[in-house]
Amino acid sequence: MDLVPEALPWLLVLIGLVLVSVTLEGVVRSFVLRLPYDWRAYAASMADFGGRRAVDALGLSLASPLLVWAYDNRLQTISLAGPVAFLLLVIGQELCYYGYHRAAHRVGWFWATHAVHHSSNELSLAGRANSPARRSSSRR
């Protein structure tokens, strides 16, 4: 069963909720609470968020051919029907994300695309919207 068509409406709703929440935060801070809000950082984060989603939607990832090759040449397919297999998948994904995030801070080419989420002078939802796992900020 292909889950992409079933999940797409929910993913679009989730993306919409994120964008509304991020914008609402800026509106409330600026116009209701009369607190400063960095709209330039908001614009940079939203442009980065939109660009990343466009690249995802168009399948323009540099890693895609490698991932397709790895899938096509896999040695075995592991069923995720049991909780242990699912837990191992989550742990494996977290380890892969940790490795990527470390590289994003240490390798200049990765840092160039990762730095946007560290560019804001103030922690806000807009700065988090382009972070893959919405984790707390860490400095380079």
Residues 6+ apart with CB under 8 A from 29: 35, 36, 37
* pLDDT, tens digit (0-9, with 9 covering 90-100), for 76-91: 888 888 888 889 989 9
d(CA 100, CA 70): 18
The pLDDT score that the predictor gives to residue 30 is 93
Q: Across residues 11-36, what is the average pLDDT? A: 91
Q: What is the pLDDT of residues 92-128, one digit of tens each?
A: 999 998 998 899 899 988 888 777 767 666 767 766 5
The pLDDT of residue 48 is: 82
pLDDT over 50 at 138, yes or no: no
Beta-carbon count within 10 A of 73 CB: 7
On average, the pLDDT of the chain sits at 81
The answer on pLDDT for 16 being more than 70 is yes
pTM: 0.58
Each residue's pLDDT tens digit, 34-68: 999 889 888 888 888 888 888 877 877 778 888 88
* Residue in 112, 117, 113, 111 with CA at minimum distance from that of residue 129: 117
pLDDT at 9 over 50: yes
- Residue 3 is predicted with a pLDDT of 54
